[in-house]
Amino acid sequence: MSKENKKTKNVVAIFAHPDDEASVVGTLANHREKGDDVYVIFLTRGENASSICCSPEEIIEKRAGHAKQIEKILGAEYRLLDLPDSGVFPSVENAKKLAEHFKEIKPDIIITWSQSDQIGLGHPDHRYTYTIVLDAISYMRYKNSKSKFEPHRTPVSVYTTFFQYSLNSGDPFFVDVSNQREKIKAVLEVYKEAYGNWPVDKYIEAQLTMFGRMAGVRYAEAFHKVLWGTAQQYLF
């Protein structure tokens, strides 16, 4: 049966570092349970994680191991690119590198970082990821003699993570993730080593609860709408 007949979508989440996707895990799990294909792409391998011991090479190995565990929890496909951790920067080369993955996957929905200017959440790698993603969406539409894949010209729906002081405009769009609490907890448990002393589980619990109250459900995740593509009637 074709993807069109099944009404399934390709959902791609792009973040800077392994563990950055903590605030969208419930939404990804929702999509996977609907039968959508879900991909998570990290621009870096997270080798500068200060909470994990060892050399950068050993940290990369641990991060890749975390990704393998979470693939099984979510039923998603994880990919780690090789941009330098804490050295992500918008360039034609970096955007075209990501565009190759877009051409291969042919996303209907893309989720990524917002342009938050808050310290921590506003890590330069996070802000620049947003720019690289938008540029890659443009580059995926064009032919490239070195590319193994055909251009992907179908309009894409783009959502970014919601932060109160984000530079992205617009009201939040809420996703009910009340049924995904156990998977969210399982993912956070895998990342516990990477988070160190920061109580991310409590932070995420508070965030899910706050957004849930705003949305009138038990737990919710929140996003900004950036672009509406052909998936606009299907999102979340």
- Structural domain containing residue 175: 7-227
Per-residue pLDDT at 93 exceeds 90? yes
The pLDDT of residue 118 is: 53
Per-residue pLDDT at 119 exceeds 70? no
Whether residue 232 is contained in a domain is answered as: no
The pLDDT of residue 53 is: 81
Whether residue 236 is contained in a domain is answered as: no
For 73-91, what is each residue's pLDDT tens digit? 999 999 999 999 999 999 9
Any idea what DSSP says for residue 84?
P
Per-residue pLDDT at 101 exceeds 90? yes
Per-residue pLDDT at 121 exceeds 70? no
């109250």: which residue's tokens? 213
Whether residue 34 is contained in a domain is answered as: yes
The pLDDT of residue 128 is: 93
Cα–Cα distance between 194 and 200 in angstroms, integer?
10
Q: Which of 9-18, 29-38, 123-132, 190-199 has the lowest mean pLDDT?
A: 190-199
Whether residue 123 is contained in a domain is answered as: yes
pTM of the model: 0.90
Whether residue 1 is contained in a domain is answered as: no
Per-residue pLDDT at 166 exceeds 90? no
Per-residue pLDDT at 5 exceeds 90? no
Cα–Cα distance between 90 and 61 in angstroms, integer?
26
For 23-40, what is each residue's pLDDT tens digit? 999 999 999 999 999 999
Whether residue 194 is contained in a domain is answered as: yes
Whether residue 234 is contained in a domain is answered as: no
Q: Which long-range contacts (CB under 8 A, 24 or more apart) does 181-189 make?
A: 181/26, 181/208, 181/219, 183/25, 183/26, 183/29, 183/73, 183/74, 184/25, 184/26, 184/29, 184/208, 186/73, 187/22, 187/25, 187/70, 187/73, 187/74, 188/22
Counting residues of the chain whose pLDDT is more than 90, the rounded percentage is 68
User: Could you tell me if 108 and 231 are in contact, meaning their C-beta atoms sit under 8 angstroms apart?
Assistant: yes
How many domains is the chain built from?
Answer: 1
When pLDDT is cut at 50, 70 and 90, the band that residue 162 belongs to is confident
Per-residue pLDDT at 2 exceeds 50? no
Per-residue pLDDT, averaged over 10-32, amounts to 96
The pLDDT of residue 4 is: 45
Report the mean per-residue pLDDT for the chain: 88
pLDDT top residue among 35 and 192:
35
Whether residue 233 is contained in a domain is answered as: no
User: Could you tell me if 125 and 43 are in contact, meaning their C-beta atoms sit under 8 angstroms apart?
Assistant: yes
Per-residue pLDDT at 209 exceeds 70? yes
What is the layout of strands, in order, in the sheet containing 173-176?
A: 77-83, 37-44, 10-15, 109-112, 157-161, 220-227, 173-176
Per-residue pLDDT at 232 exceeds 70? no
CATH number at 11 reads: 3.40.50.10320
Per-residue pLDDT at 235 exceeds 70? no
